[in-house]
Amino acid sequence: MSNKLTEAQKTYNQAVATQRIDIEHSIGQMNIYRFIHQVVRLKMRNYSMKLSK
């Protein structure tokens, strides 16, 4: 039994891999944006005390 891929299978795998890379990069960009977009949850009273020291 041969484990080698046919040319059609190789072409299909390459097309799927290209789409997958594009999708994974898009998801990564969204995660970076979500990280930057997060609200800082410091209490202003504590924050100003730390700044004045």
Q: pLDDT tens-digit profile of 5-46? A: 999 999 999 999 999 999 999 988 888 877 776 666 666 665
The answer to whether residue 53 scores a pLDDT higher than 60 is no
CA 36 to chain centroid: 13
Spell out the residues 6+ positions from residue 5 whose beta carbon is closer than 8 angstroms to its own.
13
pTM: 0.52
pLDDT at 44 (0 to 100): 63
Query: d(Cα 46, Cα 50) in Å, to the nearest integer?
Result: 6
